[in-house]
Amino acid sequence: MIEFRNVSKVYSSNGVHALDNVNISIGKGEFVFIVGSSGAGKSTFLKLIMREELPTSGSIIVNDMYLERLPRRKVPYLRRTMGIVFQDFRLISKMTVYENVAFAMRCVGKKNDAIKKRVPYILDLVGLADKAQDHPSELSGGEQQRVSLARALVNNPALIIADEPTGNIDPEMSYEIIELLNEINKRGTTVLVVTHEHELVKSFGNRVITIDDGRVISDSDDNRFVTI
């Protein structure tokens, strides 16, 4: 699903070593937390997976695509295999909940009929069926994050990446979101949650990969590391 082989990333603009010889392998259907404090290299990790940046050395395989060999025009098709949940939700304020989710389907050229069938189903899945016609400003943080999650799910990606999904919402809502991600994972979708909240991670029994200073310092699934 996701494989990093000896990946290093140095930003040529400022010479920062963001990732240093990282090896990670995440299989299909896994639920993985990537934990690290800010500046540890989490953002670079995500940018590399999305092919927004290329590694300085090493190779990355995401959903069977070799990213360093992937031509630019194929990048959109890589991104269609993953759904992204952002810390700040990234909802379009002038669109309703329904339209925000439908937007992701329009962007990949889905037909109206398909949109009309799929969006209500996904909104129901995240428990927002009754909020379809509301605007994001009328929703709580937790609800907005569920819209963001619905948008990430709507194109049925094999992989969901959540970047600090609980960063902007109440603690009790945070658990709810992770629970929801767990539900989605049980249906077969690979889930990758990037967070700095160790407490939250501990209460779920999932695999945890810790990054610090551009290096993987622990992986609960890997015997080479001590479990935290």
Residues 104-123 vs another protein: string with x where CB under 8 A? x-xxxxxxx-----------
Task: Give dist(CA 166, CA 87) in Å, integer.
Answer: 7
Taking the complex as a whole, the smallest distance from the CB of residue 203 to another protein amounts, in Å, to 27
- Residues 6+ positions from 167 with CB-CB distance below 8 Å: 87, 88, 195
Kindly state whether residue 168 participates in binding another protein, applying the rule CB under 8 A. no
Q: Which of 181, 223, 226 is nearest to 201 (CA)?
A: 181
Q: Does 16 bind another protein (CB under 8 A)?
A: no
Taking the C-alpha atoms of residue 188 and residue 196, their distance in angstroms, rounded to an integer, is 25
Buried b (16+ CB within 10 A) or exposed e, 57-73: ebebbbbeeebeebeee
Q: Which stretch binds another protein (CB under 8 A): 1-9, 99-107, 120-128, 205-213?
A: 99-107
* Residue 35 touches another protein, criterion: CB under 8 A: no
Q: Cα separation of 118 and 140, whole Å?
A: 24
Choosing from 10, 25, 30, 80, the residue that interacts with another protein (CB under 8 A) is 80
| Number of residues lying near another protein (CB under 8 A) | 28
Residues that bind another protein (CB under 8 A): 43, 46-47, 50, 52, 73, 76-80, 83-84, 88, 90, 92, 103-104, 106-112, 151, 155, 163
